A and B are shown apart, each in its own frame.
Chain A
C-alpha cells in the first residue's frame, strides 16, 4: 500500500480506481503570416466559437451543478471579451506578423504572470481561468478537439490540475473524487467538488504507474491510499456506509417540518462557529441559526475587530439565511480561549473566571462595538442577540444600561438600526434559580447544557478521571431544564437548548415532554433530530 498526504478540501471517502487525467499537450508553433487581416478574421471566428462553447458549457453546468458552479463559465465569457486581452492578441498578430495561436499563447503567458505578480492568493488562482480560455481558443484554432475519456467505470480522477472546461465535460455520475497536484481551496476543482459533494484533495502527485490502480481517497484526512490493505478498505467501507445512510436521511427529511405526531412545531436550528458553517447549516436544512458563536471574529488576529468588520460579517450571515432567524451570541471569551491583545491575566480556574458577559461588562468598549454592529445588522434581517453566562439581575441591569447607551448613540448619529429580540443563555445554576425573574426581562432562553452540567455537577469535562462520575442524563440537570422551561412559559417566552443534549436523540422525548420549544444542534445532526421529533407523540410520553 502506498500512502500520499495532501490537503483535503472536501471531506468524504471514495473507493475506486485511479484514473490519471492526461492533458492534451498543446505545443503552439510560431508561424510567420503575411496577411494580418486574414489572421485577425480567423481569430474572430475562433472567439465566436469559443463564446458559443462557453454558453453551452454554462447551460450544461447549470443543470448539473447549479448556478454557483456554473457562474465560472459566465465569467469566462466576460474574460474572453476583455479589451486588454483582445488588444494584446491583435497587437501581437499585427506587430510580430505571427499566427493567432501563438498570439493567444503569448498573451496568456503575460496575463498569467501579471496575475501571479499580485501576490494575492485568490488572484493567483485566477490565472487558471486565463489558461483555460486561452487553451480553448487554441484548441479551436488548431482544430484539435478534446478527447475526453469516457469510461463506463466509476473513477477517482487524478490530475496535475483541472480546468473548468475540462471538469464540466466529465460525466459527473462517474467521478468518485478529485486528486490534483496543483490547485487551491479557491480553485474550480475545489468549488466543483463542494457543489457535487465528493471528496477532493490537493497537493498530491499520483505517479504515472498508478493509473487504474485500486485506491481510497479520504477527503477528511487529505490522504490517498493506493492498493489499500483489506483492513483499511473495510474500515473505509464502514465510513462510506454511514455517510450513505446520512444522505438517505437527508433525502427523507429535507424540506419536512419539525412537527411532533401530536402537532407541536419545534424550532430546529443549527449551532455554527463561522460564516463557512452557514453553508452546512443550509445544506442540512436548518430552520435558523440557534447559536452563532461570535468568537471567531476575535480570534486569530492582533487587534480588536472594528465595528465595520463585525457589521460586514453579521450582515452576511443574516442575509445568507434569508428571513430565517439568526441568534448571535455575544463574545464568550475567557482566559482559556483568548487572543493576546485581550491581555487577560492567567487564571487558576478560567471556567469560573473573567469570561463571557463578565469580560464584556468590565470592558464596555469591546461590548459596545459588538452591540452597535449587531443592532445595525438587525435592521437587515431576522437577527436576535443572546448574552452568555448570566448569573444575576445586577448583570441584566448593566447590560440594559449599555444597550440603552448604544441605542442613543446610533439614534443621535442617524445610523439605521433595529433593536433585536434579546435572550440569554441559561448555563449557570444561578440563572436557573432566578429564571422566573430573568424570563420577564428577555424574549427567550437558550439552555447551554454543557456548561450547565459542568457547573451543576462540579465536574470538569476536560478531566478524563472524572468520566465515571459524569452522567449524560443527570437527573439534577434534567430537573433544571424542566424548571427553566416552566418559568419561561409562565412569562410567555420560549425556551430552547443549544448544548450537546439537544442533539442526543435518546433524550429528545424527555425534553419535548418538558415543553422545550427549540433545539439547536450542529448542522450534521439536524436531520436525525428532525426524524426523532416527527416520531414523537408528546401526549403519550410517560416519564419515569
Chain B
C-alpha cells in the first residue's frame, strides 16, 4: 500500500473537469485507488463518488493505492495532482 497527501490549491477545488481527468488517470492502473478527504473516502475510479467528496481549495486529500502497480500509480498520480490541482 502506498499513500500520499496533497493540498488542493486550484481555486475551484476538485470540480468536474479535474475529477474527470483524475478518474481517467486512476483508470490506467489495475491497483485500487482511494481518495480520502476528511472522514469521507471514495473510489478514485468513479467520478460521482469523487465529486461528492466536495473537495475545496485548501482541503487536503490523501490518495491510497493498493495492488500490483501501486508504486507506479502513486508516482504518476502525485505528478497529476501537482500539475492539475
Which residues of A does B touch, CB under 8 Å? Answer: 71-72, 74-75, 78-79, 82-85, 111, 114-115, 118, 120, 122-123, 126, 129-130, 275, 308-309, 311-313, 315-316
Contact = CB atoms under 8 A, between A and B. Distances in A.
A84 B46 contact: yes
Contacts of A74: 20
A83 B45 contact: yes
Interface of B: 7, 9-13, 15-17, 19-20, 23-24, 43, 45-49, 51-52, 54, 57-58
B48 A111 contact: yes
B3 to A, nearest CB: 22
Majority SS of interface residues in chain A?
A: helix
A312 B17 contact: no
A114 B57 CA distance: 22
Contact of B48 (A82, A275, A308): A82
12 contacts: A71-B17, A71-B20, A75-B16, A78-B24, A78-B47, A83-B43, A123-B54, A126-B16, A275-B11, A308-B9, A309-B58, A311-B9
Given A74-B20, A75-B17, A82-B46, A118 B11 contact: no
Nearest to A129: B16
Contacts, number: 61
Contacts of A78: 20, 23-24, 47
Contact of B47 (A82, A311, A313): A82
Closest 7 CB pairs of A and B: A75-B20, A78-B20, A312-B9, A120-B54, A83-B46, A82-B47, A75-B16
B84 to A, nearest CB: 12
B6 to A, nearest CB: 13
A120 B10 CA distance: 17
B48 A118 contact: no
B11 A126 contact: no
Nearest to B7: A308
A309 B20 CA distance: 25
A312 B54 contact: no
B9 A123 contact: no
A12 B57 CA distance: 32
